[in-house]
Chain A
């Protein structure tokens, strides 16, 4: 039986606001447990929620960037259940009237595909439970830290439009990129500021009705998402092959065992008893405000990529990488504005800079290496002051120290050796020390030219002008 996999993703994004959704506690990560709390987010008697304006703004931003309809009126609802990380015994969320609906996202995975976004809504995060105390052993207790309780989240629910783990990962990567671009979320999956649950079901090829789906949680990297979806797809087809039924349930991905496990039936027993929160009036978003936010949106990745291809004649693959991180794209454009050689700059950024920052966008703003440095250095190569490979060394040193390229070249003596006399002396030395190779070259093994050039480069600590060395060696050995 050939099955088709149907995947939908539910993503929770922690918002980069200063304060929580319904109180003024800080959202700063990593504080002493229960330091960032107050009577409101602790759910003490008598408290009431007051909404953070920035959260509404961020939700609208996310909605506009994904072409959603922004609801002029959305309503907060209480989702009622008991759990120690939920101080009020209910989570304030949005149910029937969410803030954004009917959006979409374009992904590239063997061609372009539109993935629908059913809804985006605002809700508060729960606290954290520690099942093991950081300092001592105890198997009888769980420890509750409510610093995270009340932190604002956007829940983004996709249509079940994905058909493979690769599509799912492409969607998530794209969504994450957009959220980071907008500055609404830092996209950190390891730390949990971006979380993803996967709804997976299978159905026979050609069937239009959906099969029963399961929800898999605890997917905190793209790799795990892909593996988990694959596992779940296989598990479900095995169940059906044995004549069984898929049970609608929540499952947990175990990254060590690389399996999904059924969570205890508490999930099925949950009756959330949603009703509109009487402590909060409806959230009204006026058209003027939406337009103001729309005008303030940054250029989004797809548009930026197109522009890079068009204006800078970059190949699509390079434009793709450069536009994947807003700060990287800004770095690129700044460097090009001071030294208009986009292809060279792009090559250096992709091959060298990405390595230096370890592909971590957050390193760019604090990077000691500024966009101007790239232009300056590449100009020096153009002028013959240093060679191409030295340029890489120089820029790596600038990244480390923040010193100017000229200073580094001076201090480390990295200027290019182009003097023909000096080079000839070295070439003679190399030729004299490698008679066997000279013979083989003269016998017709042209490839050995590179060997001689390489040896000369070594002698000069890599600083020789490669073009000149090449020319001179050829002459000498002809």
Chain B
């Protein structure tokens, strides 16, 4: 499975990554090699097999609807690189 440069750029964009020309080249090659290896899965007929999403098959636990104020709030917010008052700040969002 050979990935083109356009495909690599599209993936990088989706993942919000910026790649240099050299990186695009390198990743195209490496990802293609990995995908080639992954093609091995096509040797198997899995049409009637149920997918395993979780190693355990129990229902999701449910929590009572009780509100609590987080005690560590200031510490949680304190790691923000750019805060203004109580807000997080980002460059202007357009559209």
Residues of A within 8 A of B (CB): 17-19, 24-28, 32-35, 37-39, 42, 44, 50-56, 75-76, 82-84, 129-131, 133, 139-146, 263-264, 266, 271, 273, 276, 278, 280-284
How many residue pairs bridge A and B at CB < 8 Å?
124
Known: A24-B67, A38-B70, A39-B76. A33 touches B86 (CB 8 A): yes
Known: A142-B92, A266-B95. A283 touches B59 (CB 8 A): yes
B63 touches A17 (CB 8 A): no
Q: Is B89 an interface residue (CB 8 A)?
A: yes
Cα A130 to Cα B60 with chains together (Å): 35
Number of B residues with CB within 8 Å of any CB on chain A: 35
B58 touches A281 (CB 8 A): yes
- Across the interface, B89 reaches (CB within 8 A) one of A76, A82, A143, A271, namely A143
Cα A51 to Cα B64 with chains together (Å): 9
Lowest 7 A-B CB distances belong to which pairs? A38-B70, A284-B59, A54-B65, A53-B62, A143-B87, A26-B67, A264-B95
B60 touches A281 (CB 8 A): yes
* A277 CB, min distance to chain B CBs, angstroms: 9
B87 touches A145 (CB 8 A): yes
B interface majority secondary structure: loop
Cα A146 to Cα B87 with chains together (Å): 9
Interface pairs (8), CB distance under 8 Å: A19-B66, A24-B66, A35-B86, A38-B73, A55-B65, A84-B93, A141-B91, A281-B58
A129 touches B93 (CB 8 A): yes
- Across the interface, A52 reaches (CB within 8 A) one of B53, B63, B86, B94, namely B63
* A274 CB, min distance to chain B CBs, angstroms: 13
A263 touches B73 (CB 8 A): no
Which chain B residues border A32 with CB–CB below 8 Å?
86
Q: Which B residue sits closest to A55, measured CB to CB? A: B65
Which chain B residues border A141 with CB–CB below 8 Å?
84, 89-92
B93 touches A142 (CB 8 A): yes
- Across the interface, A278 reaches (CB within 8 A) one of B54, B63, B87, B89, namely B54
Which chain B residues border A145 with CB–CB below 8 Å?
86-87
* B64 CB, min distance to chain A CBs, angstroms: 6
A19 touches B90 (CB 8 A): no
Q: Is B47 an interface residue (CB 8 A)?
A: no
* A19 CB, min distance to chain B CBs, angstroms: 4
Known: A32-B86, A56-B62, A281-B56. A139 touches B77 (CB 8 A): no
